[in-house]
Chains A and B, each alone.
Chain A
Amino acid sequence: MEYKDYYKIMALSREASQDEVKRAYRKLARKYHPDVSKETDAEAKFKELGEAYEVLKDPEKRAAYNELGTNWKSGQDFKPPPNWDEGFEFKGGGFTGGDAGDYSDFFEQLFGRAEFQSTHAGERHGAHPRGQDSHAKIHIDLEDSYHGATRTISLSTPEMTAQGQVQVKHRSLNVKIPKGIKPGQHIKLAGQGNPSMGNGLAGDLFLEIALNTHPLYRVAESDVYLDLPVTPWEAALGAKIIVPTPEGSVDLKIPANSKQGSKLRLTGRGLPTKIPGDFYIILQIVLPPADTEQAKAVYQHMQKTLDFNPRQSMGGLIP
Chain B
Amino acid sequence: MKPHELTLVHIGTIIEEESLTLGQLCRACDTHADWVISLVEEGIIEPAGKDSHGWRFSSIHLLRVRSALRLQRDLGVNLAGIGLALDLMAELDLLRTQLNARRYVLEKKA
Contact = CB atoms under 8 A, between A and B. Distances in A.
Interface of A: 26, 29-30, 33-36, 38, 46, 50, 97-98, 130, 132-133, 135, 150, 152, 171-176, 178, 181, 184-190, 192, 203-208, 218, 220-221, 223, 225, 227, 229, 261, 274, 280, 282, 284, 286
The 9 closest A-B pairs by CB, nearest first: A227-B105, A187-B12, A186-B15, A189-B12, A220-B101, A174-B9, A176-B11, A186-B59, A133-B28
B63 A184 contact: yes
B53 interface: no
Report the contact-size class of chain B (Cβ under 8 Å from the partner): 35 or more
B28 A171 contact: no
A184 B59 contact: yes
Q: Is the interface of B mostly helix, strand, loop or mixed?
A: helix
A35 B97 contact: no
B101 A225 contact: yes
A174 B66 contact: no
A225 B16 CA distance: 24
24 contacts: A34-B70, A35-B71, A35-B89, A36-B85, A36-B89, A46-B74, A130-B27, A133-B30, A152-B6, A173-B5, A174-B10, A184-B60, A185-B59, A187-B13, A187-B14, A188-B13, A192-B10, A203-B27, A204-B27, A206-B62, A208-B59, A208-B63, A229-B105, A274-B16
A192 B7 CA distance: 16
Contact of B28 (A36, A98, A206, A284): A206
A174 B75 CA distance: 36
A206 B18 CA distance: 13
Interface of B: 1, 5-18, 27-30, 59-60, 62-63, 66-67, 70-71, 73-76, 85, 89, 96-98, 100-101, 103-106
Given A29-B75, A178-B14, A218 B103 contact: yes
A275 to B, nearest CB: 11
A213 B67 CA distance: 23
A97 B28 contact: no
